[in-house]
């Protein structure tokens, strides 16, 4: 056999074996996650507990009942039991910061700002912070005008703009946390500009943080307003449903850890500061923050019954850009934090969850994207 042909054959054999090994690892991971989710569902059926009450997820009714010696618990599915109108004293409500990072969001800025300002929370216990990184002066004026409109209605809203876009979204969020008024806040809820939370969002998420001081993050689920727009959006919905229903639920139920989705979540600010805050070394600043918090021993809670509306990419170009970031970003983060994860003083199970079998596959995707599309924006 020709030596060149022999080398090609050898390389192909190695590639086939590598793909086979990764396929087996991925299959075992999916099998494991499926077993965890099935166990959780069985436990819920046996205990007759609602999904959103797992891991001490409670409503404000439950917190007040606990404070007054009352064991009452109200189901999260009961709207009337959630919207608590009899919380007369504001000290029952912690100070919450709501951050909305934006970049030239002409189509959705009114919806996102309106949804954040419409959250059911005492006005003197809520600060809405619009972090506008727009480069279009006309859009900046529109966003600023909208903020002033809500401010005239009595909403404590802050419009913040930077002179540069250093660090992109991570840099924007990091800069937002440095303002003096943030020091009075205990929790920060983050929503991308295309997300619109329901008015009761904070009433469903914050109580879990109050109840358990070891929880750093409460993550809600995304719901998609344009899922039926085309075949591509329907396929994305199926993929993301698996991510939320299986992967995040399994991580929350077993290790109290999963990757932060970058939006529609509430962080404990003390935990965020303890792990070093936002870093812009990769394009997946959300996963970076979550991994660092997990290594510090903080717990995460996923509430699948709490949903926040947003839109799926409906064009191939937008979808391609999103998938580029979601595949190359984690691979780059793994390259930078792999040794730290392997040497961290955490349980073997958590280390396995932090370094799932899909990571080698993500590295392969990273190489493919680099060859086909040039280097990514990871830093």
At residue 76, φ and ψ (nearest 5 deg) are -65, -20
Query: What sign results for the dihedral spanned by CA atoms 146, 150, 152, 158?
Result: negative
According to DSSP, the residues that pair with 109 across neighbouring strands are: none
Contact between 128 and 191 under an 8 Å Cβ cutoff? The reply is no
At residue 179, φ and ψ (nearest 5 deg) are -70, 145
User: Closest Cα to residue 332, out of 370, 297, 292?
Assistant: 370
At residue 190, φ and ψ (nearest 5 deg) are -120, 130
Alpha-helix runs per DSSP H in 68-200: 79-82, 109-117, 137-151, 168-176
According to DSSP, the residues that pair with 97 across neighbouring strands are: 127, 188
Name the helix (H) or strand (E) containing 217. strand 215-224
Of the residues 133, 192, 280, 378, only one is catalytic, namely 133
Residue keyed to tokens 């009114």: 110
Of the residues 192, 286, 288, 378, only one is catalytic, namely 286
Query: What sign results for the dihedral spanned by CA atoms 279, 221, 206, 67?
Result: negative
| Residue 133 is among the residues annotated as catalytic for this protein | yes
Residues in the chain: 379
Contact between 222 and 264 under an 8 Å Cβ cutoff? The reply is yes
**Active-site annotation, residues:** 133, 286
């Amino acid at each position: 056999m020709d030596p060149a042909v022999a080398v090609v054959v050898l390389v192909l054999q190695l590639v086939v074996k590598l793909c086979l090994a990764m396929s087996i690892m991925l299959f075992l991971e999916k099998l494991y996650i499926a077993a965890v989710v099935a166990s959780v569902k069985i436990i819920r059926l046996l205990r007759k507990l609602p999904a959103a009450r797992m891991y001490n997820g409670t409503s404000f009714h439950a917190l007040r009942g606990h404070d007054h010696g009352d064991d009452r618990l109200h189901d999260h599915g009961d709207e009337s039991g959630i919207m608590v109108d009899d919380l007369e004293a504001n000290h029952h409500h912690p100070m919450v910061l709501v951050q909305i990072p934006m970049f030239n969001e002409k189509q959705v800025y009114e919806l996102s700002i309106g949804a954040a300002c419409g959250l059911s929370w005492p006005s003197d216990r809520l600060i809405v912070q619009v972090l506008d990184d727009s480069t279009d002066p006309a859009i900046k004026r529109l966003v600023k005008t909208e903020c002033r409109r809500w401010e005239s209605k009595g909403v404590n809203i802050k419009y913040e703009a930077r002179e540069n876009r250093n660090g992109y979204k991570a840099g924007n969020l990091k800069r937002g946390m440095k303002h003096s008024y943030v020091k009075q806040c205990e929790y920060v809820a983050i929503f991308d500009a295309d997300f619109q939370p329901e008015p009761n969002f904070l009433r469903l998420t914050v109580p879990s943080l109050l109840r358990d001081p070891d929880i750093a993050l409460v993550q809600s689920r995304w719901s998609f307003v344009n899922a039926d727009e085309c075949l591509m959006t329907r396929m994305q919905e199926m993929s993301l449903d698996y991510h939320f229903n299986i992967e995040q639920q399994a991580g929350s139920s077993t290790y109290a850890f999963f990757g932060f989705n970058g939006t529609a979540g509430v962080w404990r600010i003390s935990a965020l500061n303890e792990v070093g805050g936002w870093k812009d070394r990769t394009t997946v600043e959300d996963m970076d923050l979550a991994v660092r918090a997990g290594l510090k021993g903080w717990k995460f809670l996923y509430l699948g019954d709490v949903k926040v509306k947003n839109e799926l990419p409906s064009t191939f170009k937008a979808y391609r850009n999103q998938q580029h970031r979601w595949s190359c970003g984690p691979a780059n983060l793994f390259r930078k934090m792999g040794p730290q994860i392997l040497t961290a003083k955490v349980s073997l199970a958590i280390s396995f969850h932090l370094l799932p079998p899909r990571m080698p596959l993500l590295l392969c995707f990273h190489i493919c994207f680099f060859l086909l599309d040039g280097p990514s924006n990871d830093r």
